[in-house]
Structure 1
């Protein structure tokens, strides 16, 4: 076992009894399960991004809208035994108009696959994370028995997240259905001790894994003894927690006997690749483009203008975060600036008062005579007073009611 806590203090949720005596959760429990799952996947404690993720028992694919926006994920397998359910909800996997207007910077493929959680299929190779929310209680005994073989023996993901109802909480749901459970398709509902025994037994069979437990959906304040409405187990492969593994990982070509349909392919219902923006610029070109954009922005900020020298002095540190965001260093930035004849002196980029290609500045100090084809001196009215000039005698960045210094934070 290992200890795990959600980052940033966990979820903020509440449980209450409404005026009809019904127990309610805010937000709803299914939303809490989804949010918890995404926060686990995004937790930097793993030191790893999970690129390929499978969502077993995806049903109507409600979790998919969050998964497709989760940082690092590039391939999502939506797997369910019900082919009709997958087909009727196929539109949830399709890109939106916004996905075409604002293309991703990393690839994303979504596969809808009809298959069982206990079947070792070729598509499951190299999966990084497994999600199995509220599915094991729907499995027949033989399927439940074979499930760990498929996931921890064949797939060997870095992370696996399971959730299932906590039967101790059912005292607040009475009366239950005729089968004695919360759902008419449930084959069982476990107490916390039973779920814990099942998870720990998996870790004994597959010592490359450790497990942590947590709950979702708090009980009312006076019934904390019954635990949460949903119990969750987080299986982490040991190399996520420390550098070593207990046993060597099986080759991706080795299939484990996980049932009668082992080593098969799931039936493919639908596959889509999301539109992606491919930036073909060289690294130096990206640095130069970013530097020029930030330099142009800084020309609108008065405090960078040296009135005595009639130049802009932009601190290099202003560009640091932008440069690091594209994976470059300050040393690389200096090299690109030098190569493109952009002057740097004492940790400052030195810019002329006007950009040669920007006539928007010159119009306040000069006036172009179209008939003569020349620029004439301007900027003073007939009384000899400064017109449109700042304190330094040059162009003022504040004109009328517009304060251009505010543009510093536009990006």
Structure 2
């Protein structure tokens, strides 16, 4: 095992007993699970982005709205497991609207591609669609599985798919002392089991023993009331991480050949319900054109920054480091930048771009001087806006957009299963 904590201090959440004597969670537990899964994927600890993500989820597709906003994800597969053979495909198709691009996705296009596909199929089927997956998410799924299917899940995910990271959650039955159980003794009428923390840990460690390329950390969401902390969290989460993601050597070579023994009955094979590609900006400029455009943009801004003006020489001296981050982002070198500047007759002396004095009245631009951070080489538009300096249509004078408020709320619902 390895130790893991969510970045930035974890979630701000609480569990409490209301006036009716019922256990409640703030925010709802389903939100905590989704948010935790996303924050795990976004954690800089891994040192990379996850491009292809598979969500073995239910037909409600709530997690998708968060996943599609995670930086670096280019392909999301929503794999909906048929708990019953006659799963309602009309329901899946009706949720297509949750996967389709919004009007805002066309008005402000993504910087990279994103393809979303919805499949009906079994979580234990080794199919071509599941190859080359970086991350697997399976929230509150395994407790719905029959023993044979549950037995095949590790074979499919850790033996065939071999993702960099896999996130599983399941109810913690130690917590059930605070709930009124259904007639089947569980929280949901379709649950086949509910594990204690010890049973879940044993399942996770057995997987790591069988597939030694993986290590696991166990966390949870849904806090117990302060006087019941000994029962743990309402929902327990196992984070399986491939050893190379932790900078450890792999014990076995990676191989994701389809195994016949992993494939269930043909009735449960994958069937695509729909697929959609999101609009995104395609930058067709050459590297030289990108460098020149950015240089001209920074020149335009810096000619209004008083600190760069050398009054003795009557010129602006702009440090080349102003362009440092941009150069790195497009895998360019400083020599390539200097070459582009020279071709465009932009004067460079030492570590500075030399610019003539601006012709306009510069007194109205002095506030730009406070928007540039010398230590980080970046423009601080948010600080400019927060100082209540006038902006046009909520656009910062330094080029940034003023932050908005998200007033979206979820309706109250049962959320602990």
TM-score normalised by length of structure 1: 0.84
Distance 1:205 1:345 in 2: 62
8 Å CA contact retained: 2:122, 2:268: no
Name the structure 1 match of 2:55: 55
Name the structure 2 match of 1:270: 274
Distance 2:266 2:239 in 1: 25
Q: Deviations over 1:14-73 (max 9, x none)?
A: 111222222111111111111110111111222232111110023210000110111111
Name the structure 1 match of 2:348: 344
Name the structure 2 match of 1:5: 5
Query: How far apart are 1:241 and its partner, in Å?
Result: 2.1
Name the structure 2 match of 1:320: 324
The answer for unaligned runs of 5 or more in structure 1 is: 355-360, 362-394
Quote the RMSD (CA, aligned, Å). 2.1
Q: Deviations over 1:184-230 (max 9, x none)?
A: 11111110011111111122222222211111111111111100000
Match of 1:199 among 187, 198, 204: 204
8 Å CA contact retained: 1:255, 1:262: no
Distance 1:181 1:254 in 2: 35
Name the structure 2 match of 1:390: none
8 Å CA contact retained: 2:49, 2:73: yes
8 Å CA contact retained: 1:210, 1:236: yes
8 Å CA contact retained: 1:122, 1:264: no
8 Å CA contact retained: 1:397, 1:405: no
Name the structure 2 match of 1:218: 223
Name the structure 2 match of 1:68: 68
Q: Partner of 2:262: helix, strand, or coil?
A: coil
8 Å CA contact retained: 1:163, 1:231: yes
Residue 283 in structure 1 maps to residue 248 in structure 2: no
Name the structure 2 match of 1:176: 181
Q: 1:109 to 1:316 in 2, by over 3 A?
A: same
Distance 2:250 2:366 in 1: 62
Q: 1:119 to 1:332 in 2, by over 3 A?
A: same
Name the structure 2 match of 1:85: 91
TM-score normalised by length of structure 2: 0.83
8 Å CA contact retained: 1:29, 1:217: yes
Distance 1:263 1:335 in 2: 62
Name the structure 1 match of 2:394: none
Match of 1:303 among 304, 307, 324: 307
Compare 204-213 and 79-88 and name the one that shifted more: 79-88
**The structure with more radius of gyration:** 1
8 Å CA contact retained: 2:18, 2:24: yes
Name the structure 2 match of 1:149: 155
Distance 2:205 2:267 in 1: 27
The answer for unaligned runs of 5 or more in structure 2 is: 373-380, 382-397, 400-417
8 Å CA contact retained: 1:121, 1:264: no
Q: Partner of 1:398: helix, strand, or coil?
A: helix
Distance 2:333 2:9 in 1: 34
Q: Partner of 1:137: helix, strand, or coil?
A: helix
Residue 37 in structure 1 maps to residue 42 in structure 2: no
Name the structure 2 match of 1:373: none
Distance 2:291 2:13 in 1: 44
Query: How far apart are 1:264 and its partner, in Å?
Result: 8.6
